[in-house]
Each structure stands twice: as C-alpha cells, then as structure tokens.
C-alpha cells in the first residue's frame, strides 16, 4: 500500500474517446501497480456542453473496460462531491483566499477590449498576454466600480520567475512565467475556470500524481503557481503523448471509430481494446504482446511509456481482437455474437448456436463480422441458381448427390453433434472414393451444393449446423440441376 492517489477527470461532452480511455487506463494501471487509489471526477464546469447522460455513458465505458475507480460520483468516497458542478462552494472559498492574500484581483476589462488587445499583440508578433490593466486598481476604486454595478472577473496574479517541474514521463520541463498572462479563475458569469477548479479539486482530493495527456503540459505551470499561492503541495505530473490518426492529424470522427462506444458496437472485445491501448505507447520489459488487465497492473510502469505521439493503427487492434476472439468457448462466443445475428434477422435454433459460433470463429475480426459468415446456415440457398452453380457439374457429381441424399437421409435427428457430423461426412467421402471420385471432386461440389458458395467453414460444420431438412433440400436442388443440364435430352448444340 502507498498513499498514491490518481484521478481520471473527463469532461462529459460525449462518450469516452479512445484517447481519454488510454489516459484512464494509464492512471488505473499506475495506481494499481503501486497499490494506490484512483478517483473519478466529472469536470462539468461548462454546463452548456455537459450533459448528465454523458457522465453515465463515460462510467459505463470505463466499467466495460474493467476500469473501476475507487472513488467517484457513482461509488462515492470521502473526498466528494465528485462532480465539479457540485463543488462551487469550495472554489469560492479558494477564490476568497486568493483575494485576501493578494494573489488574485478583480478585472473589469470588457471582453471586446480584451480581444482587441489580443489581436494587436498577435499582429505585433507577440505572445498574447493580459496587460494587467486592472492589476493595480486600488481597493477604493474596486469598491467604487462594484458599487456602480460593474461586473468583474477574478484574475490570478502570476508571479515572476520560472516554473520547473519534473515530469514523470518527460523529465524536467521549465516555463518562464513571462509567457503566462494573469489568467482568469472566476468568470464574470460566476463560473470557475478549468485550471482553477482542477487545482482546488486535486488539492482537496489529495491527488498525489496527475497522469494526463500532453495537451495539458502548458497548463501545468499555471496549476503549480496556483498550488503555491493556495499554500498546498503540488502533485507529481506525468504527461503522456497524444493519439494521432493514420495521416498524422488529430484523431477525429472523420477517421472512423474514435470512441469506446464505437468500438464496442463494432464488436471489439474490451480485453483487446485494453491490451491495444496499453501497447500504444507503453512497452513491457520483455517482448510479450498479449496482456490481460491483471498482467498489465503487474507490469505497467510509467517509465516505460514512450514520449512520442502514437498513431492509431486499426490493424494491430484487429489482430489482438482476433486473438481474444479465438480464445472464447463456443457458448461464450455465441452469446457475444447473438445481438449481431439478431440485428440481421438471423435466429438460430438452440442446437445450432454453438456449432455456428465454432464454425465462424476463425474468420472473425470483430463480432460484427459474424452475420456474414453465419448467414449460410439459415439463408434460403438454391444451389442451382447460385453464382457457382457450374461447379455442381463436376464429373460424378450426380452420383455424389445421390449418395449424400441416402446417407444424410438416414440422420436420426434434425441436427447432428459436430463429432457425429464429422463421422457421417467421412463415411460419405469414403463411399464416394470407392466409386472412384477424388477428394476434390467430393468436397468442392458438395460445398457448393450445401452452401451455394465456394468458401466457408469446414464441411462438417455445415453438416452439423445446417440440419437434415436443409441439407436434403439443397442436395435435391443440386441433383435436379445436374439432371437438367446433363439429362437424357441432348445438350443444346448451339
């Protein structure tokens, strides 16, 4: 056990993005690895963009990934509340403290003026920075303007000097405070700014380590100044790289799936997702690639997290997903693909389910692929009119279908268990071979007759999963097709 406390602090502006998911994962792994705790904090300071529906979807996505926070809005804890929208009193107290200690001051500058000045600075090729117009206002002047009904925001007075911190991932990083203007901590509308709320919360929740994306790296300087002004110890910081799209740009909706929800509904398994996200910039000390959550907790170290940005490559995720998919027991696999089958109108008989699951297993990249492979077990198939009908005409096929109809006609039940299906098929093949047919002349026409396709699961799966009546019907259609084409009446001479 250690006193390490980390937090994952998403703002509920949508469902969990893969980038945020990875941040959550790294926080979770880091905390668990050292026996610390993770808190979930919802940063809904911007009520306009926040929806409560989103925070439940984020909690669901985290749960799906297996990342349970030790404290949070759903599970409670001693440092709540865990939604920023419910913590206004704490922020206000901190604002009053900074005002009282001279670290903050009211600013009456109207927004339009601020923007104008910013544009001027930009035009003059300087870093935009508040010019401290209101910094030197006397108390009486301030009181006077408030009395006159003027509204003010509250700014933090940033101290001179450099701010340096030892980033856990990057090493030492230094900012000169003169690139940082006095920033707002409380808006005119009464809301509290992000950088400020975060500090009050991290302090209040006794966070020891902040693990977040590189996009926050410049916030760190401001936040550390705030900690110092508030008289609180700053946490350690670690900034991991961002996830980029294959073209090197920021990952966005136009690149396809980007949220955990997207991947989940496409049929990726959470185990694969977690494994992939971990590997995206972390690397174990050996060359293993496959890790479950527990193993990750065991092995994960921030020191082995890469500093460079990582491109999201669907291929590796696909590979991992296939790996996990192929490990599933037939019953589990069936349960996982069932919703996808149902959505495509594929309803399998109880006895078919595990057979079909097993039959399609090796072909799946994602669960959503299941219907296209399972369709052959339920679709109406007429071998005579399928695209590969010509393959039914293999020499000796008429005899083959005859043989097959006899053998399958003797099936005691509609469905045969896989081992028996395998035996029955073997018997058929042997008989056909006795009649002089080569293996290929058996398997190929038989496959087309049974499925109307030239590729698909092993034949014995077809025999087991199709059921007696479909098998017989398709064989009959195939036999009739052969008769029609090679029957007594001579082929058209054309």
Partner RNA sequence: GCCCCCAUCGUCUAGUGGCCUAGGACAUCGCCCUUUCAAGGCGACGGCGGGGAUUCGAAUUCCCCUGGGGGCACCA
- Which residues, numbered 36-65, are part of the site for RNA (CB under 7 A)? 43-46, 49
Do the beta carbons of residue 58 and residue 64 sit within 8 Å? no
CB nearer RNA, residue 74 or residue 214:
214
Catalytic residue among 48, 118, 232, 253: 253
Q: Total residues contacting RNA (rule CB under 7 A)?
A: 91
Shortest separation between residue 27's beta carbon and RNA, angstroms: 16
DSSP secondary structure letter of residue 474: H
CB nearer RNA, residue 85 or residue 480:
85
Among positions 66-125, residues that touch RNA (CB under 7 A) are 84, 107, 109-111, 114, 118, 122, 125
Shortest separation between residue 471's beta carbon and RNA, angstroms: 17
Q: Which residue do the tokens 């989103």 mark?
A: 54
Shortest separation between residue 339's beta carbon and RNA, angstroms: 21
CB nearer RNA, residue 84 or residue 208:
84
Instruction: Give 135-169 as a DSSP string.
Output: TT--HHHHHHHHHTT---EEEE-PPSSEEEEEETT
Among positions 368-407, residues that touch RNA (CB under 7 A) are none
C-alpha 246/C-alpha 194 separation (Å) is: 31
Contact flag: residue 254 with RNA (CB under 7 A): no
Shortest separation between residue 484's beta carbon and RNA, angstroms: 26
| From 149, 160, 189, 410, residue interacting with RNA (rule: CB under 7 A) | 189
Shortest separation between residue 276's beta carbon and RNA, angstroms: 9
Closest CA to 363 of 456, 277, 283: 456
| From 67, 272, 310, 475, residue interacting with RNA (rule: CB under 7 A) | 310
Do the beta carbons of residue 267 and residue 261 sit within 8 Å? no
C-alpha 10/C-alpha 218 separation (Å) is: 18
CB nearer RNA, residue 81 or residue 480:
81
Q: Which residue do the tokens 């995206």 mark?
A: 280
Is the bond into 27 cis (omega within 30 degrees of 0)? no
Shortest separation between residue 246's beta carbon and RNA, angstroms: 7
CB nearer RNA, residue 184 or residue 348:
184
Q: Which residues contact 454 (CB under 8 A, 6 or more apart)?
A: 388, 391, 444, 447, 448
| From 153, 207, 273, 449, residue interacting with RNA (rule: CB under 7 A) | 153
What does the block give as tokens for 124?
């003059």
| From 103, 175, 377, 481, residue interacting with RNA (rule: CB under 7 A) | 175
Q: How far is CA 338 from the centre of its chain?
A: 21
CB nearer RNA, residue 219 or residue 352:
219
CB nearer RNA, residue 319 or residue 393:
319
| From 80, 128, 339, 368, residue interacting with RNA (rule: CB under 7 A) | 128
Do the beta carbons of residue 353 and residue 465 sit within 8 Å? no
Q: How far is CA 327 from the centre of its chain?
A: 20
Cα end-to-end span (Å), the chain = 87
Among positions 206-235, residues that touch RNA (CB under 7 A) are 214-219
Among positions 330-369, residues that touch RNA (CB under 7 A) are 362-363
| From 133, 188, 265, 402, residue interacting with RNA (rule: CB under 7 A) | 188
Shortest separation between residue 487's beta carbon and RNA, angstroms: 27
Contact flag: residue 414 with RNA (CB under 7 A): no
Q: Which residues contact 25 (CB under 8 A, 6 or more apart)?
A: 65, 67, 274, 277, 278
Do the beta carbons of residue 190 and residue 218 sit within 8 Å? no
Q: Which residues contact 189 (CB under 8 A, 6 or more apart)?
A: none
| From 63, 135, 179, 343, residue interacting with RNA (rule: CB under 7 A) | 179
Q: Name the segment binding RNA (CB under 7 A); options: 29-37, 136-144, 193-201, 389-397.
A: 193-201
C-alpha 253/C-alpha 255 separation (Å) is: 5
Shortest separation between residue 116's beta carbon and RNA, angstroms: 12
Shortest separation between residue 250's beta carbon and RNA, angstroms: 4
CB nearer RNA, residue 286 or residue 489:
286
**How many C-alpha atoms does 211 have within 13 Å on its Cβ side?**
29
C-alpha 169/C-alpha 165 separation (Å) is: 11
Contact flag: residue 253 with RNA (CB under 7 A): no
Among positions 11-30, residues that touch RNA (CB under 7 A) are 11, 13
Q: Name the segment binding RNA (CB under 7 A); options: 140-148, 264-272, 299-307, 417-425.
A: 299-307
Do the beta carbons of residue 431 and residue 474 sit within 8 Å? no
Angle, in degrees to the nearest 10, between helices 459-466 and 468-486: 120
CB nearer RNA, residue 52 or residue 249:
249
Do the beta carbons of residue 389 and residue 358 sit within 8 Å? no
CB nearer RNA, residue 148 or residue 493:
148
Give catalytic status of residue 440 as yes or no. no
Q: Which residues of 396-412 are buried (b: 16+ CB within 10 A; e: fewer)?
A: bbbbbbebbbebbeebe
Q: Name the segment binding RNA (CB under 7 A); options: 55-63, 138-146, 413-421, 438-446.
A: 438-446
Q: Name the segment binding RNA (CB under 7 A); options: 14-22, 92-100, 238-246, 402-410.
A: 238-246
| Residues known to be catalytic | 253
């Amino acid at each position: 056990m250690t006193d390490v406390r980390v937090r994952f602090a998403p703002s509920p502006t949508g469902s969990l993005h893969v980038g945020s998911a990875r941040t959550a994962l790294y926080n979770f792994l880091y905390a668990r690895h050292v026996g610390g705790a993770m808190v979930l904090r919802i940063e809904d300071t911007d009520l306009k963009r926040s929806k409560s529906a989103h925070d439940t979807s984020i909690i669901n996505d985290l749960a799906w990934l297996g990342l349970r926070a030790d404290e949070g809005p759903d599970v409670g804890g001693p440092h709540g509340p865990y939604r920023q929208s419910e913590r206004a009193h704490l922020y206000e107290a901190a604002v009053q403290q900074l005002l009282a200690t001279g670290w903050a001051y009211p600013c009456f500058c109207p927004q339009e003026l601020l923007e104008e000045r910013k544009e001027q600075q930009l035009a003059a090729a300087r870093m935009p920075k508040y010019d401290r117009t209101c910094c030197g206002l006397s108390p009486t002047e301030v009181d006077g303007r408030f009395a006159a009904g003027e509204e003010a925001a509250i700014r933090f007075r940033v101290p001179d000097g450099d701010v340096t911190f030892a980033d856990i991932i990057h090493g030492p990083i230094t900012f000169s405070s003169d690139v940082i203007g006095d920033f707002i901590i409380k808006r005119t509308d009464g809301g509290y700014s992000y950088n400020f709320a975060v500090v009050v919360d991290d302090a209040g929740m006794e966070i020891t380590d902040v693990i977040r994306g590189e996009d926050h790296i410049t916030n760190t300087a401001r936040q550390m100044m705030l900690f110092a002004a508030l008289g609180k110890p700053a946490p350690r910081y670690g900034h991991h790289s961002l996830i980029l799209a294959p073209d090197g740009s920021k990952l966005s909706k136009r690149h396809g799936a980007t949220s955990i929800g997207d991947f989940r509904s496409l049929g990726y398994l959470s185990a694969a997702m977690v494994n992939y996200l971990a590997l995206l910039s972390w690397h174990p000390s050996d060359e293993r690639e496959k890790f479950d959550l527990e193993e990750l907790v065991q092995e994960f170290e921030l020191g082995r997290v890469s500093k460079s940005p990582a491109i999201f490559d669907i291929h590796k995720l696909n590979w991992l997903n296939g790996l996990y998919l192929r490990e599933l027991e037939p019953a589990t696999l069936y349960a996982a693909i069932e919703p996808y089958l149902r959505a495509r109108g594929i309803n399998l008989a109880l006895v078919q389910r595990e057979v079909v699951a097993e039959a399609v297993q090796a072909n799946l990249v994602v669960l959503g692929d299941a219907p296209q492979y399972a369709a052959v077990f339920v679709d109406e198939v007429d071998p005579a009119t399928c695209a590969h009908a010509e393959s039914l005409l293999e020499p000796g096929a008429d005899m083959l279908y005859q043989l097959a109809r006899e053998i399958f006609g003797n099936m005691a039940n509609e469905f045969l268990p896989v081992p028996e299906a395998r035996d029955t098929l073997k018997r058929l093949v042997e008989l056909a071979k006795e009649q002089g047919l080569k293996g290929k002349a058996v398997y190929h026409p038989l496959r087309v007759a049974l499925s109307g396709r030239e590729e698909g699961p092993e034949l014995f799966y077809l025999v087991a999963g199709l059921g007696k009546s479909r098998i017989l019907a398709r064989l009959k259609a195939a036999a009739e097709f052969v008769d029609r084409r090679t029957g007594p009446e001579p082929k058209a001479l054309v």
